[in-house]
């Protein structure tokens, strides 16, 4: 069937077994092509790569008549030229084999393929920052979206459903509702509800602020141990990790996992244990409880006041701004903070520039290289090795369409309605050049999300929250430091990237989220002993 994405099988003496296994499972949804040698595979892939549907998967037997072998496998492993290697199925229902194949196809469908069926329809008369945020939050929730103009057939249908309220952008959600003048918060609140639904007088055992890996781990473990748990998130679950197109160095995922999928699985897991997750409103401030309830903490979210016995701060970090006014005006129309994986398809055949030298920047560049004609990574350092994981550095080196421009920074840029050019300046010589660019992705390092917190929460010189023995001695109680992840306010904990001294990795953030729950239990036991609050 034409128009189907292709699966290309390269098989020699195992052709019959391999072809039968793939056709029995995937023949309905994919066009399966079987070739017997490397030369034919090369011709076939070049032909299929130019088709609209593209190639979803290439599976090759290790030993072929004109190539491959063990040494080639070792070289490919070093270059990270493939995603996984599997044994050929030896019998019926080799489900482990097919789990690996379907995981790869699933990630391809979510991050590369154009949506077949869209869950969310956006109608807009202009490409704006607000529209870009709508598409991004949909992608981070695992919802495929499509955008239409008001005069298109789909646009006219949505406008008719909207009635007299023709404020753009309009969004038709999964249940058929149309929301006019929609924002990212409109979608998330429609899906997850709002904190207003919590009955007045409710006191949660734990309020987790932030839903990156640290916050989600804390929520999951707290809820699984019977603690009443509320999660507050301002944008979308996953934090910065949730924007990563592929995380390959997270324990237990040998084939890698997208940040979106990891975050959504963790959200579902926490929710199944009873955690309530509210997305779309930011926490505005934290206050201590009144004198007669000294162990209550009040977390203000908009007009809502949440009462909690403990608070876990997992707000993570935010990307620093570039500070070039002309480019700030183009955010959402060619300029993007973060990986913006939803924009990657729009870079097909175009020039993309990624600014940043961390893992998030490397992952964004590798993902963009699937689509863009060229990708430039711009960093002020001498190389990537000091700030980026080795596996990503090797992957970048093995991708011919990615160029690394060291000792360079973006100093200007512009365009009529979207980004068209950038000025790049060498940091050592000061020499500048003006170059065409269609997309700028800014992953500039991080600043802690602490601006909304009270001053009595101690911070280090960079603004990260101090915990445990790092807290200044004058803030210790009775000569003893706070618990290892506890801040200068008793019962308020900090985990993940927002905490001073944290490793800034997905695995360590998840570990801190899990590790904070025994400390929460200990604090609740202390409350019982003080008889401040009857717990039940």
For residue range 6-19, what is the model confidence (pLDDT) as tens digits? 999 988 888 888 88
Question: Nearest 5°: phi and psi at 397?
Answer: -60, -30
CATH number at residue 81: 3.40.50
243 with 163, same domain: the answer is no
211 with 245, same domain: the answer is yes
Report pLDDT for 72: 47
In this predicted structure, which of 146-155, 174-183, 451-460, 484-493 has the lowest mean pLDDT?
A: 174-183
Report pLDDT for 289: 72
147 with 166, same domain: the answer is yes
Report pLDDT for 68: 54
CA distances from 228 to 203, 220, 277 (A): 8, 11, 12
Report pLDDT for 495: 98
Residues contacting residue 298 through CB under 8 Å, at least 6 positions apart: 286, 287, 288, 289, 305, 306, 307, 308
Report pLDDT for 450: 93
Share of the chain above pLDDT 90, in %: 59
Report pLDDT for 493: 98
User: What is the Cα–Cα distance from 151 to 158, expressed in whole angstroms?
Assistant: 10
311 with 456, same domain: the answer is yes
Report pLDDT for 51: 80
Share of the chain above pLDDT 70, in %: 92
Average pLDDT over residues 211-226: 97
- Write out the H or E segment, with its range, that includes residue 340: none
Report pLDDT for 70: 46
Average pLDDT over residues 146-155: 94
Average pLDDT over residues 163-174: 91
Q: How close are the terminal C-alpha atoms of the chain, in Å?
A: 61
312 with 385, same domain: the answer is no
Final residue before a domain boundary, out of 111, 134, 161:
111
- In a domain? residue 470: no
**Residue whose entry in the numeric block shows the structure tokens 């000061």:** 430
174 with 93, same domain: the answer is no
Q: How many domains does the chain have?
A: 4
Judge whether residue 415 has pLDDT over 70: yes
The 10 Å Cβ neighbour count of residue 153 is 7
184 with 264, same domain: the answer is no
Judge whether residue 91 has pLDDT over 70: no
Report pLDDT for 294: 63
Residues contacting residue 366 through CB under 8 Å, at least 6 positions apart: 245, 246, 392, 395, 396, 399, 402
**Residue whose entry in the numeric block shows the structure tokens 């507050």:** 232
Judge whether residue 38 has pLDDT over 60: yes
214 with 267, same domain: the answer is yes
CA distances from 2 to 5, 27, 214, 345, 494 (A): 9, 12, 45, 21, 53
Q: Is 515 helix (H, G, I), strand (E, B) or coil?
A: helix
- In a domain? residue 535: no
- 499 pLDDT band (50/70/90 cuts)? very high
- 83 pLDDT band (50/70/90 cuts)? low
Mean pLDDT of the chain: 88
Q: What is the pLDDT of residues 219-242, one digit of tens each?
A: 999 999 999 999 999 989 998 888
User: What is the Cα–Cα distance from 201 to 198, expressed in whole angstroms?
Assistant: 9
307 with 358, same domain: the answer is no
- In a domain? residue 536: no
Final residue before a domain boundary, out of 111, 129, 144:
111
With beta carbons less than 8 A apart as the criterion, state whether 51 and 57 touch: no
Final residue before a domain boundary, out of 83, 111, 139:
111
Range of the domain at 504: 195-316+450-460+478-530
- In 3D space, the residue among 426, 411, 233, 221 whose CA is nearest the CA of residue 315 turns out to be 233
Judge whether residue 348 has pLDDT over 60: yes
Average pLDDT over residues 172-182: 89
CA angle 164, 169, 172 (to 5 degrees): 75
Average pLDDT over residues 434-458: 93
- In a domain? residue 159: yes
Report pLDDT for 445: 79
Judge whether residue 375 has pLDDT over 60: yes
Judge whether residue 84 has pLDDT over 90: no
With beta carbons less than 8 A apart as the criterion, state whether 452 and 491 touch: no
Judge whether residue 329 has pLDDT over 60: yes
Residues contacting residue 70 through CB under 8 Å, at least 6 positions apart: 62
- In a domain? residue 296: yes
Residue predicted with more confidence, 531 or 164: 164
- 411 pLDDT band (50/70/90 cuts)? very high
- In a domain? residue 408: yes
- In a domain? residue 473: no
Report pLDDT for 200: 86
Report pLDDT for 64: 74
439 with 418, same domain: the answer is yes
Judge whether residue 76 has pLDDT over 90: no
99 with 147, same domain: the answer is no
Residue predicted with more confidence, 295 or 38: 38
The 10 Å Cβ neighbour count of residue 104 is 17
User: What is the Cα–Cα distance from 41 to 44, expressed in whole angstroms?
Assistant: 5
Residue predicted with more confidence, 217 or 259: 217
Burial class (CB in 10 A: 0-12, 13-18, 19+), 459: middle
CATH number at residue 292: 3.50.50.60
CATH number at residue 162: 3.40.30
Average pLDDT over residues 369-375: 93
Average pLDDT over residues 60-64: 78
102 with 178, same domain: the answer is no
- In a domain? residue 1: no
Residue predicted with more confidence, 427 or 110: 427
């Amino acid at each position: 069937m034409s128009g189907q994405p292709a699966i290309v099988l390269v098989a020699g003496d195992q052709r019959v077994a391999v072809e039968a296994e793939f056709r029995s499972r995937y023949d309905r949804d994919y066009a399966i092509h079987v070739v017997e040698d490397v030369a034919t595979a090369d011709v076939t892939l070049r032909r299929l790569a130019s088709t609209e549907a593209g190639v979803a998967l290439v599976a090759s037997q290790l030993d072929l008549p004109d190539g491959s072998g063990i040494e080639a496998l070792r070289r490919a492993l070093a270059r990270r030229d493939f995603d996984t290697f599997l044994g050929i199925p030896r019998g019926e229902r080799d489900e482990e084999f097919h789990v690996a194949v379907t995981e790869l196809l699933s990630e391809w469908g979510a991050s590369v393929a154009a949506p077949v069926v869209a869950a969310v329809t956006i109608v807009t008369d202009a490409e704006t920052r607000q529209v870009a945020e709508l598409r991004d939050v949909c992608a981070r929730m695992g919802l495929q979206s499509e955008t239409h103009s008001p005069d298109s057939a789909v646009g006219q249908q949505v406008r008719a459903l909207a009635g007299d309220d023709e404020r753009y952008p309009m969004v038709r959600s999964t249940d058929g509702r149309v929301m006019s003048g929609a924002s990212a918060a409109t979608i998330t609140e429609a899906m997850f509800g709002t904190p207003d639904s919590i009955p007045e007088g409710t006191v949660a055992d734990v309020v987790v602020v932030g839903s990156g890996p640290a916050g989600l781990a804390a929520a999951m473990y707290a809820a699984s141990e019977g603690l009443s748990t509320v999660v507050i998130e301002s944008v979308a679950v996953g934090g910065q990790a949730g924007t990563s197109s592929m995380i390959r160095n997270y324990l237990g995922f040998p084939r890698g996992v997208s940040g979106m999928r990891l975050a959504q699985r963790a959200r579902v897991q926490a929710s199944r244990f009873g955690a309530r997750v509210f997305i779309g409103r930011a926490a505005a401030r934290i206050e201590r409880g009144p004198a007669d309830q000294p162990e209550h903490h009040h977390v203000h979210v908009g007009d809502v006041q949440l009462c909690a016995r403990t608070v876990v701060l997992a707000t993570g970090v935010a990307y620093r701004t570039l500070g070039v006014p002309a480019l700030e005006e183009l955010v959402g129309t060619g300029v993007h903070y973060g990986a913006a994986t939803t924009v990657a398809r729009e870079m097909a055949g175009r020039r993309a520039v990624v600014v940043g030298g961390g893992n998030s920047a490397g992952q964004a560049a590798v993902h963009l290289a699937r689509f863009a004609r060229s990708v430039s990574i711009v960093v002020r350092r001498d190389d990537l090795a000091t700030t980026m994981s080795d596996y990503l550095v090797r992957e970048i080196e093995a991708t011919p369409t990615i160029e690394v421009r060291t000792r360079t920074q973006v100093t200007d840029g512009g365009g009529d309605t979207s980004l068209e050019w950038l000025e790049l300046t060498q940091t050592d010589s000061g020499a500048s050049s003006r170059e065409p660019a269609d997309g700028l992705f800014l992953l500039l390092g991080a600043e802690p999300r602490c601006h909304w917190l009270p001053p009595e929460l101690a911070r280090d010189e960079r603004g990260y929250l101090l915990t445990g023995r790092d807290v200044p001695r004058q803030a210790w109680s009775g000569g003893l430091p706070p618990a290892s992840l506890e801040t200068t306010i008793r019962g308020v904990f900090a985990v993940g990237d927002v905490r001073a001294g944290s490793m800034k990795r997905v695995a360590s953030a998840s570990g801190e989220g899990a590790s904070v729950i025994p400390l929460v239990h200990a604090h609740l036991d202390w409350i019982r002993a003080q008889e401040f609050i009857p717990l039940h």
